[in-house]
């Protein structure tokens, strides 16, 4: 099968998932619970992940999957061969609160290199796609990432982990960005934050997230011309394209300056009284 045929299948599955998400909201029958103590999850997250997993197995029998609700075992990242990386609902807190910033994210990697990605936002009626080396698209129209040159005029997307004690050290970064950039957005879906960078709506995105949050969106942003990387050197073993700690994705022209700003914030080197 060609990459285009793979993408068609992934797209079709993401759109089915999107319909399930719309129906779940209309039926108003959300059952919420907490996993790992503080992470919100709904019955729809699990139902959508189950459907996606079944459809991928039918279409690509035996290919490995890493998905947030059903198969989150990260050992899969270190293995060779095919890997589907799935977030059935990225933006669960938004979904549970009746907000619209919600997406299905499906990526396909081979030997640790992302080959294609789909991010489908059913409430926004936006579907982002990319195939490695072939550009990025929103509802079929080609995308170009931001070409912002000045941090001062840049709008920066980020997010925060569910664990509240892990949020505290991130305040330094936030203070730095609010002091040196136009403003910050916390829209609640890493996948869509990356797609917003791909569209040029946002000039940069930084966060530490899981592979299913960013695998598809990272390729989409990269294919749209954004620079993708990490604030710090990645460890051996996990492929860099699937390593989610300290991600930085931005207009190529502000990347170095923003990386420096965030690293200095982490090191406590900034005095933010400018």
- Which residues define the annotated binding site for Mg(2+)? 68, 87, 89-90, 213
Sign of the CA dihedral running 214, 87, 6, 241? positive
**Pick from 34, 38, 29, 6: nearest CA to 167:** 38
Judged by CB under 6 A, the stretch of 8-16, 78-86, 205-213, 230-238 that binds ligand IPD is: 205-213
Nearer CB in complex with ligand IPD: 6/101: 101
Residue 108 pairs in a beta bridge with 84, 116
45-84 footprint of ligand IPD as x/- string (CB under 6 A): ----------------------------------------
Which of 7, 14, 77, 87 is the binder for ligand IPD (CB under 6 A)? 87
For the chain, the distance separating the N- and C-terminal CA atoms, rounded to the nearest angstrom, is 56
Residue ranges of the binding site: 68, 87, 89-90, 213
Q: Would you count residue 91 as binding ligand IPD (CB under 6 A)?
A: yes
Q: Which does 91 bind (CB under 5 to 8 A by kind): Ca ion, ligand IPD, none?
A: ligand IPD
> SS3 for 77-118, per residue?
HHCCCEEEEEEEEECHHHHHCCCCCCEEEEEEEECCEEEEEE
CA distances (Å), origin 209, targets 31, 152, 247, 251 = 25, 26, 8, 20
Judged by CB under 6 A, the stretch of 14-22, 137-145, 186-194, 244-252 that binds ligand IPD is: 186-194
Helix count and strand count (H, E) for the chain:
7, 14
Nearer CB in complex with ligand IPD: 134/186: 186
> DSSP code of 231?
S
What three-state secondary structure class fits 129?
strand
Judged by CB under 6 A, the stretch of 18-26, 125-133, 136-144, 182-190 that binds ligand IPD is: 182-190
CA distances (Å), origin 5, targets 19, 131, 138 = 21, 11, 18
Question: Could you tell me which residues come within 8 angstroms of residue 50 by beta carbon, excluding any fewer than 6 positions away?
Answer: 69, 70
Q: Would you count residue 209 as binding ligand IPD (CB under 6 A)?
A: yes
Residue 216 beta carbon to ligand IPD: minimum distance, rounded to whole angstroms: 12
Containing H/E element for 23? Answer: helix 3-27
Judged by CB under 5 A, the stretch of 12-20, 66-74, 165-173, 238-246 that binds Ca ion is: 66-74
The footprint of ligand IPD on this chain (CB under 6 A) covers a number of residues equal to 15
Which of 49, 87, 193, 203 is the binder for Ca ion (CB under 5 A)? 87
Under the rule (CB under 5 A), what is the footprint of Ca ion?
Answer: 68, 87, 89-90, 213
Binding site for ligand IPD (CB under 6 A): 87, 89-93, 159-161, 188-190, 207, 209, 213
């Amino acid at each position: 099968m060609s990459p285009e045929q793979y993408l068609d299948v992934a797209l079709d599955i993401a759109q089915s998932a999107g319909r399930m998400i719309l129906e779940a909201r209309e039926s108003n029958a959300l059952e919420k619970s907490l996993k790992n103590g503080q992470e919100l999850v709904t019955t729809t997250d699990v139902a959508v992940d189950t459907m996606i997993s079944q459809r991928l197995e039918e279409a690509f029998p035996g290919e490995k999957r890493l998905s947030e609700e059903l198969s989150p075992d990260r050992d899969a990242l270190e293995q060779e061969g095919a890997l589907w990386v799935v977030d059935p609902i990225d933006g669960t807190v938004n979904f549970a609160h009746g907000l619209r910033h919600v997406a299905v994210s499906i990526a396909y990697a081979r030997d640790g290199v992302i080959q294609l990605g789909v991010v489908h936002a059913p409430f926004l009626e936006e579907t982002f796609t990319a195939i490695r080396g072939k550009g990025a698209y929103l509802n079929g129209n080609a995308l170009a990432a931001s070409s912002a040159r000045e941090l001062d005029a840049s709008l920066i997307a980020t997010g925060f982990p569910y664990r509240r004690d892990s949020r505290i050290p991130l305040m330094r970064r936030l203070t730095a960005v609010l002091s040196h950039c136009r403003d910050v957005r916390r829209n609640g879906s890493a996948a869509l934050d990356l797609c917003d960078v791909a569209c040029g709506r946002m000039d940069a995105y930084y966060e530490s997230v899981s592979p299913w949050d960013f695998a598809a969106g990272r390729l989409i942003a990269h294919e749209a011309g954004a620079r993708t990387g990490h604030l710090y050197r990645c460890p051996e073993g996990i492929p860099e394209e699937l390593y989610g700690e300290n991600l930085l994705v931005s207009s190529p022209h502000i990347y170095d300056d923003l990386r420096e700003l965030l690293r200095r914030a982490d090191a406590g080197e900034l005095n933010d009284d400018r």
